[in-house]
Structure 1
């Protein structure tokens, strides 16, 4: 049986996101396609691979370090949550002795360099999936990295150079991207080498009534209608835009923000915005929730908001639609691709444009017919275009082409 080792920068169910959803679904499908799967993740306090093991994978952890001086506990927590160019001699040693037909990276940076080095040492092919914005939104990535490491001294750069951290994508045997912009940004670098755009799938199984009741309880809205934004608390996800635009919401609607904090300084900014908002009594920030509760919140919501400034794919949009919930979402990255792929233009809003978001929310009172048409259309739209099996087959086809 062929074997793949997936390597991720974190796997903490309390901080669930699109990468975690992708990985669990991919492994479940790869196992059914006859592949033996193993997942490696850094050993952190919240690391738990139980859900991966239930999907059919073996789960291992490795020791890792964030190579920075003058790093506060809060800064370290932010690096763990959002990726902080970690290093691991332990993982390098593991990958150099474990058997695998393919190594599959779900991160970049120095951990990517570790995998690249192990793959070269053992003459194995390796694949990379770019789950976040890399080149297509390079300004967002660079400003985010500067903000997270401000005041710290990076002592890991020489090791990263030795590991070829900056060549991880260039040298990979397989590269999978999630949107057209990222594909275009890498085409010249990859030249004739493999570069494929893939799409997430989504489960059409609806949230249970029990989960929906629990979700409402966590949201603290009682029986009132609410709009929801599900995503990590990070400038790229646009919680600040949603809070500011919510001032134009109908007086009976609440706003629920669900997601773990990946940027503590931005989280403080969000908290301050809520405190200053004239609608603060109807805004509920409930922190991170497990995936089944995230789906239930999307099911219970009257509207999902996805005001991202950068989004490589935007699986939360598909999850909202799979629950029959309309959405407003930024015309950026993978979100724009989804809209054009499905001819779904009702929910598109210009990215990072507060006036546009405010106008759209104000106009919803006059869009009852359009909203109902969206509710009627969204589930069939997802079913027709997005399936995990399609994703897995495309990736396994790539594996088979490069296996040695």
Structure 2
């Protein structure tokens, strides 16, 4: 099949797990004999002079990376305008593909930020539109859409979900969320988990020892969080639990790897909890550094308040680390409590501390759960199987007749209640 994918992330422009998902899916589709074109973008803050539009073939995938237009728009300050401008650039690049005679059998949109170009190009090519919803604005804000920007994003998500001919989510929890928020039938939503390439997370013993010495020179247990530093990732709960863990296991340290808007606030939380010296904010780590840090940790802790899937749990499992995770969203499907890790309710600091202490109390049992988690990757989270499932969705997709869509009504209270 000829597949046109649209994503605002694609390596090396990666903000979160979405970019890695699209890259891996495109790679596996090409390996299976399909023709894939990915429409994506150049880094934020560049322009057509510093970073012109590229049209290259990488690993068999044709990647069209559009340049930013001259307008002075900043993602953090002008989100909606910035997204519309990116979409306009993608639409022009996609129409150029059609003019040269390349037409897709299916258009695949990844998340709300590419809704406008995806809808336009699906209509122009008369191809069915498939959409993967990776997260929702309501979910990121615990059900509250009280600000104008929240409502704008939610309404675009609603449009994409209701305009798409087929919908995909990465977990059963997200399927229920999407059906509820966007008023679509859950039976029409296909669940396809994220996958992982375990080989990428193999690490040399020397690198593990180096990471252990760097993050804990005195040999004390190290807990690791990696991901975006945003409120919904729950790092504040892990910091709040650290004093209780340290009372039972003196010297335990926490390494926080990643960047985000809440970094300084989290530093302040560590200061308030009187554990600032025990918390290392390591910033962005390269893949090699991250794999070594994961493998050297006594436990990887994922305390998310909201998590559509939790690809970081797969990465931790691939590197062989014991897992402690909340049951938020898809994490409850990825980490099986007592089998492949230990779980706790989102936001429950006491339960979080108990789970971490249970890992540190019995390292042998934690190691057995880590091995079980790693073994599960080859069956439940294999990219080849996920790509096959995606092709089945493509083949089932047909352009549906539908009337005009009006603006969705947005509740003034918590939309999850």
Q: Same fold (TM over 0.5)?
A: yes
Tell me the residue number matched to 1:27: 26
Partner of 1:203: 197
| 1:165–1:363 Cα change, 3 Å | closer
* Equivalent residue number for residue 116 of structure 1: 119
The alignment status of 1:42 with 2:34, answered yes or no, reads no
Q: Aligned in 2, Cα 1:214/1:362: closer, same or farther, shift over 3 Å? A: closer
Gaps of 5+ in 2: 98-102, 400-417
Structure 2 residue aligned with 1:140: 142
Q: In the TM superposition, what are the counterparts of 1:2-401 in structure 2 within 5 Å? A: 2-11=1-10, 13=12, 15=14, 17-45=16-44, 54-63=58-67, 75-76=76-77, 85-87=83-85, 88-98=87-97, 99-109=103-113, 111-133=114-136, 137=139, 139-140=141-142, 142=144, 146=147, 166-187=158-179, 189-191=183-185, 194-205=188-199, 206-209=201-204, 212=207, 216=211, 220-222=215-217, 224=219, 225-247=221-243, 248-249=245-246, 250-261=249-260, 264=261, 266-340=262-336, 344=339, 346-401=341-396
User: What runs of 5+ residues in structure 1 fail to find an aligned partner?
Assistant: none
TM-score w.r.t. length of structure 1? 0.80
TM-superposed deviation, 1:280: 1.9
Look up the SS of the partner of 2:159 in the other structure: helix
The Cα offsets for residues 278-328 of structure 1, whole Å up to 9 and x where unpaired, read as: 322221111122334333322221100000011111111112112221110
Q: Which has the higher helix share?
A: 1
Secondary structure at the aligned position of 1:140 is classed as coil
Structure-2 change in CA distance of 1:84 and 1:59 (3 Å): same
After superposition, the Cα gap between the structure-2 partners of 1:192 and 1:165, relative to the gap in structure 1 and judged at 3 Å, is: closer
Moved more, 329-338 or 294-303: 294-303
Q: Which has the higher contact order (CA 8 A, sep 6+)?
A: 1
Secondary structure (helix, strand or coil) at the match of 2:198 reads: coil
CA displacement 1:157-192 (0-9 Å, x = unmatched): 7xx99xx76421112122110121221244473349
Q: Following TM superposition, by how much is the alpha carbon of 1:236 offset from its aligned partner in structure 2, in angstroms?
A: 1.1
- Following superposition, the deviation at residue 393 of structure 1 comes to 0.4
Q: Alignment partner of 1:10: what SS?
A: coil
Cα deviation, 1:127-185, whole Å, max 9, x if unaligned, reads 111112456x3743756x949x59xxx9xx7xx99xx7642111212211012122124
SS in structure 1 at match of 2:324 = strand
Return 275-284 or 56-65, whichever deviates more: 56-65
Q: Distance in 1 between matches of 2:398 and 2:287?
A: 34
- Compute the RMSD of aligned alpha carbons: 3.8
CA contact (8 A) 2:323 2:340 kept: no
Are the aligned partners of 2:341 and 2:373 in contact in 1 as well (CA < 8 Å)?
no
Displacement of 1:18 in angstroms is 1.7
What are the superposed Cα offsets for residues 9-28 of structure 1, whole Å, 9 maximum, x if unpaired? 23464755321221221112
Return the TM-score normalized by structure 2: 0.78
Please list the CA deviations of residues 73-93 of structure 1 after superposition, one character each: whole Å capped at 9, or x if unmatched: 69349x59xx97544322222
Q: Distance in 1 between matches of 2:10 and 2:206?
A: 23
Aligned residues: 380
